A and B are shown apart, each in its own frame.
Chain A
Amino acid sequence: MTRILANRVRVWLLVGLFAASVVLSGSISTTAQAQDKDPIKIGFSMALTGALAGGGQQSLLAMQIWAEDINKKGGLLGRQVELVFYDDQTNPKNVPGIYSKLIDIDKVDLIVSGYGTNLIAPAMPIAIEREMVFMGLFGMDNNSKWKYEKYFQILPAGPDPAVGFSQYWFEAVAGLKPKTIAVIAADAEFAQNLKKGAVTNAEKMGLEIVYEQNYNPKTADFTPILRAANAKKPDVIYIASYPNGSAGLVRALAEVGTDAKAVGGGMVGLQFSGLMAGLGPMLNGISNYDFFVPEPTMDLYPGAGDLIKRYQAKVKEDNLKVDALGYYLVPWSYAYVDILGQAVNAVGSLDQDAIADYIRDTKFSTVVGDVKFGKNGEWDRSRTIVVQYQGIENNDLEQFAKPGTRKIMLPADISTGELQTFGALRK
C-alpha cells in the first residue's frame, strides 16, 4: 500500500515538475510582453551565456539604453519601441529557432543580429527569406557569399573586413621599418580571419613571415609559443588571439620578453575591463586594435562620451555583472540599432525595401561618428583604430577610464600619440 502511494507521489512529482517548468517559463514571457499598446518590436538573439557572453551582455545593456532614449524622444513612427530577445548561449544551433520565434510567434517588426560572426550566419537565410533588413553586430564578412542587399554590418573594418581590420596596425608599425614578422593566431573563426588579413597586409608591405602558427583554445601556457616565435628573431609580432590567449600571451611577454619592436594587433579581450585591470602594467608597450577609447579626440562623436558615462553609471547603480567600462561594444551596439531607428523614422514606414534603400544611400551620424555602408553592407572604409598601452602603473581599473593609458596611433585624424617600440615602454 505504502509502496503504491509512494509511486503515485513520484508520478505526480514528475508531472508537477515538468508542468511547473513550462508554466514558470510561460509566465515570465507574458510579463515581458503585452504592456503598451502596439509598440514596435525589435527582435534579436544575444549571447548572454557561453563564450561570447561578456560581449553579449554589454551589447544588450547598450541596446536597452538606446530603447530608453528613443522612447523618451517619442519612439519610432510615434510608437514606443520594445526589445524582444533570447539568449543563444553562444551556440549557433539555437539561432535559427530564435529568429523564427521572433518573426513567427512574437511578430517582431524589425530584426537585428546577435554578437559575433558565427551567431550572425545562421540567421542570414531567415532574414533573406523574409526579405527583412538585417543589421549585423561585429560579423566578419558574413555577406560575401550571400550578397544580400538588406544586410548592414557595424564592425568598422571596411569593404574587405579581414584586411581592413589590421590595415592601420601595419601602417603604424611601418614607421619602425620592420623586415620580418611572426604571426600567432587562435585556432578559431574570428582570429583566423584576422590572421588571413594580416598575412595579406604583411605581404603587401613586403615583410618576410618567419613564424606562423595557430594555437588551440585549450592552451594553458603560452611561454613555449612565444619562445619559438622569438627564436626566429622577428622585427614585429602580430597576434590574433581570444581573451584567454591574449592574457596568456601578455603574461608570457612579461616572463619571457621579446626583442620584437611591436607586438599585438588583433588581441581580443585586452579591451575588457576585467583583463585590463588584471594585467595592468604588463600591457605597457603592446599595440592593439580597438574601437573606442577615452581619448579626447573621440569626444568629437556626438553623444559617445555621454553614452559611456550613462552605461558606467548604470552598471554601478544596478550592480550589474557586466563589463564595468564598456568601451569595446557599447557605442557600436547602440549605433547599429540607432541606424535602423533613424532609417525607420526617415522613411516613415516599416517597409523593409525602403528602409534598406535608405540605409544604403545615407551617411549616418551616430555615436561612433559618421557611418556609411558600402560593398556587401560592410563599412565603406576601415575605422578600426590602433592604440598603444602606455604608462600603466598598477592594476587599478579607474586609470583606464581616463585618457592616456591607451593612446591612439592611427587613423591620423584622431591620433593622440606616436608609436614607440615595445621595449621602450617596458621597465
Chain B
Amino acid sequence: MKYRFEIICLLLIVGLFVLTQVVGNQFYFFIGFVILQYMVMATAWNILGGYGGYVNFGSAGFLATGAYTAVALINFLDVGLVEQMIAGGIFAGLLGFATGYLTLRLRGVYFAIATLALAIILETIVAHWDYVGGAAGTSILPKRKPELLGELIVDRKAGLFGNYKEFLFFLMGTVAILSVWVARYIENSKLGRGLNAIKDSEEAAECMGVPTLRLKLIATTISGAMMGVAGAPLASYLTFIDPLSAFNLEYAINAIAMPMIGGTVSWAGPVIGALLLGTAQQVSSLWIQSELNLLIVGVVLVVFVIIAPEGIIGWFRKSRQGSSR
C-alpha cells in the first residue's frame, strides 16, 4: 500500500486523542509531553545532523525562539496555543534560514560552534528584552477557556479536552508524528539523498551537480522551524519562563545524544533514542531520590555508545547482516 505510513500516522494521532479522553491519570500526559518534545527536537536535529552531517549545537536557541515568540504573542495579541506554535515555527524557521545563510561556508565543527554562538547571542538579547520578561523571566497564565475556530478546546465539562495538559500533550504528540513524517519524507526524497551526498563529501556532491547551498538552506530552515514549533508550548507548559530555562544546555545535549543513541541514518533513530533516553531520564529522576539519577543517564549514554557505536538502528542492521551471512 502506497500510503501505509500516512495511515499509521493518522491512526496514531487518533490514538493520541483517544488516550487524552480515556486516561484519567494526568501524570502520563506530563511525562509524555516532555518525551514527545524531545522526540521533535531529536527528529529536527537529525534532518540536518543525521542526513546532512551538519551538527547543530544551538538547538536550544531555536527552541527558545519558539518559546519566546509565543510569550511575545501572548503579551501582544493574546492569541491561542495553536497560533503560537505556527508563529513559533515561522520565526524559528526564519532563524534557521538566517543561520544557514550566515554559515554557508562553515563545515563540521566550525558550523557546530557557530550555531552555539548564535544561541548564546540570542540568549543575551532575550535577557535584555524586557517586554518578554528579560532576565527576570515572566509568568504566563494559560487562557481559562481557549477556543479554536469557534470550538471550545479546554473545559472541564464542555470542552474537547477536560484539561490543559491533555491539550498540550495532544498538540505535542501531533507535532511529533508530523515531524517524523516530514523526516521520513525528506529521507526518501531528493532532498534527503542530496543531504546524504553532502555528508559523504561536499565537493563530490557539488561536482555531481547537487545544489548543496540550496539544500543546506532548506534543511536548516525546516529543522529550525520544527524546533520552534516544539518550543512554542513551553511557556504554557511551565507557566513561567526565563532565559535560563528556555536556553538550557540540556536541550542541545539531548537533541544530539538522542539521535546518536538511536542511530542517525534513519527517521526511526531519533524516535527510538528519544523514547529510550527520555524515558530513562524521567524514570530515573522520578524514582530515585538522589543525585544518582544523573549518574544513570551518564552510564546509559556511555554504555550505549560503546556497545552500539552506530546507534541502535545501525546495530540491529549489523546484527541482521551478520546473522544472514
Interface string of B288-325 (1 = CB under 8 A from A): 11110110100010011001100010010011001101
Instruction: Tell me which residues across on chain B come within 8 A of A118, comparing CB atoms.
Output: 137, 240, 242, 244-245
The answer on a CB contact under 8 Å between A100 and B27 is: yes
The answer on a CB contact under 8 Å between B286 and A7 is: no
The answer on a CB contact under 8 Å between A89 and B322 is: no
- A121 closest partner in B (C-beta): B240
Instruction: Tell me which residues across on chain A come within 8 A of B315, comparing CB atoms.
Output: 10
From A13, A29, A100, contact of B287 by CB (8 A)? A29
Q: Is B103 an interface residue (CB 8 A)?
A: no
Q: Is A28 an interface residue (CB 8 A)?
A: yes
Q: Is A312 an interface residue (CB 8 A)?
A: no
Chain B interface size band reads 35 or more
The answer on a CB contact under 8 Å between A101 and B300 is: no
Instruction: Tell me which residues across on chain B come within 8 A of A89, comparing CB atoms.
Output: 285, 293-294
The answer on a CB contact under 8 Å between A25 and B135 is: no
The answer on a CB contact under 8 Å between A48 and B291 is: yes
The answer on a CB contact under 8 Å between A187 and B289 is: no
Q: Is B282 an interface residue (CB 8 A)?
A: yes
Q: Is B5 an interface residue (CB 8 A)?
A: no
Given contacts A4-B323, A29-B287, A98-B286, contact A146 B141 (CB under 8 A): yes
The answer on a CB contact under 8 Å between B141 and A100 is: no
Q: Is A3 an interface residue (CB 8 A)?
A: yes
From A17, A22, A87, A216, contact of B285 by CB (8 A)? A87
Instruction: Tell me which residues across on chain A come within 8 A of B304, comparing CB atoms.
Output: 14, 17
Given contacts A3-B322, A89-B294, A96-B30, contact A214 B286 (CB under 8 A): no
Instruction: Tell me which residues across on chain A come within 8 A of B141, comparing CB atoms.
Output: 145-146
Instruction: Tell me which residues across on chain B come within 8 A of A313, comparing CB atoms.
Output: none
Instruction: Tell me which residues across on chain B come within 8 A of A104, comparing CB atoms.
Output: 25-27
In whole angstroms, how far apart are the Cα atoms of A49 and B323 in the complex? 45
From B34, B139, B165, B289, contact of A121 by CB (8 A)? B139
Most chain A CB neighbours (cut-off 10 Å) among B30, B280, B283: B30
In whole angstroms, how far apart are the Cα atoms of A101 and B28 in the complex? 9
The answer on a CB contact under 8 Å between B25 and A92 is: no
Instruction: Tell me which residues across on chain B come within 8 A of A11, comparing CB atoms.
Output: 319
**Contact stretch, chosen from A122-130, A332-340, A374-382:** A122-130
The answer on a CB contact under 8 Å between B319 and A125 is: no
The answer on a CB contact under 8 Å between A105 and B322 is: no
The answer on a CB contact under 8 Å between B291 and A87 is: yes
Q: Is B21 an interface residue (CB 8 A)?
A: no
**Contact stretch, chosen from A188-196, A349-357, A362-370, A397-405:** A188-196
Q: Is A411 an interface residue (CB 8 A)?
A: no
Instruction: Tell me which residues across on chain B come within 8 A of A424, comparing CB atoms.
Output: none
Cβ of A321 to closest chain B Cβ, rounded Å:
10
Give how many A-B residue pairs fall within 8 Å (CB-CB): 155
The answer on a CB contact under 8 Å between B239 and A25 is: no
In whole angstroms, how far apart are the Cα atoms of A8 and B85 in the complex? 44
In whole angstroms, how far apart are the Cα atoms of A384 and B301 in the complex? 45
The answer on a CB contact under 8 Å between B308 and A14 is: yes
In whole angstroms, how far apart are the Cα atoms of A117 and B137 in the complex? 10
Instruction: Tell me which residues across on chain A come within 8 A of B218, comparing CB atoms.
Output: none
Given contacts A4-B323, A7-B322, contact A189 B285 (CB under 8 A): no
From A4, A96, A117, A146, contact of B237 by CB (8 A)? A96
Given contacts A87-B291, A97-B282, A192-B134, contact A105 B25 (CB under 8 A): yes
Q: Is A94 an interface residue (CB 8 A)?
A: yes
Instruction: Tell me which residues across on chain B come within 8 A of A87, comparing CB atoms.
Output: 285, 288-291, 293
The answer on a CB contact under 8 Å between A121 and B239 is: yes
Q: Is B248 an interface residue (CB 8 A)?
A: yes
The answer on a CB contact under 8 Å between B238 and A189 is: no
In whole angstroms, how far apart are the Cα atoms of A10 and B316 in the complex? 10
Instruction: Tell me which residues across on chain B come within 8 A of A13, comparing CB atoms.
Output: 307
In whole angstroms, how far apart are the Cα atoms of A277 and B160 in the complex? 58
Cβ of A196 to closest chain B Cβ, rounded Å:
7
Instruction: Tell me which residues across on chain B come within 8 A of A191, comparing CB atoms.
Output: 135
The answer on a CB contact under 8 Å between A97 and B245 is: no
In whole angstroms, how far apart are the Cα atoms of A162 and B141 in the complex? 21
From B124, B163, B242, contact of A129 by CB (8 A)? B163
Q: Is A85 an interface residue (CB 8 A)?
A: yes
Instruction: Tell me which residues across on chain B come within 8 A of A91, comparing CB atoms.
Output: 245, 248, 250
Interface string of A79-113 (1 = CB under 8 A from B): 00000011111011111111011011100000000
Instruction: Tell me which residues across on chain B come within 8 A of A101, comparing CB atoms.
Output: 27, 30, 286
The answer on a CB contact under 8 Å between B276 and A18 is: yes
Most chain B CB neighbours (cut-off 10 Å) among A22, A53, A189: A189
Cβ of A340 to closest chain B Cβ, rounded Å:
21
Q: Is A175 an interface residue (CB 8 A)?
A: no
Cβ of A254 to closest chain B Cβ, rounded Å:
27
From A49, A97, A196, A216, contact of B286 by CB (8 A)? A97
Known: A92-B240, A93-B34. 15 other contacts (CB 8 A): A13-B307, A14-B304, A14-B307, A21-B284, A25-B283, A26-B287, A91-B250, A93-B238, A97-B27, A103-B26, A104-B26, A121-B238, A129-B163, A187-B135, A188-B242
12 contacts between A and B (CB under 8 A): A3-B323, A4-B323, A25-B283, A29-B288, A49-B294, A86-B286, A92-B245, A93-B250, A104-B25, A105-B27, A117-B137, A189-B242
Nearest 4 interchain pairs by C-beta: A121-B240, A192-B136, A25-B287, A7-B319
Residues of A bordering B, CB below 8 Å: 3-4, 6-7, 10-11, 13-14, 17-18, 21-22, 24-26, 28-29, 32, 48-49, 53, 85-89, 91-98, 100-101, 103-105, 117-118, 121-122, 124-125, 129, 142, 144-146, 186-189, 191-193, 196, 214, 216
Residues of B bordering A, CB below 8 Å: 25-27, 29-31, 34, 124, 127, 134-137, 139, 141-142, 163-165, 237-240, 242, 244-245, 248, 250, 276, 280, 282-291, 293-294, 296, 300, 303-304, 307-308, 312, 315, 318-319, 322-323, 325
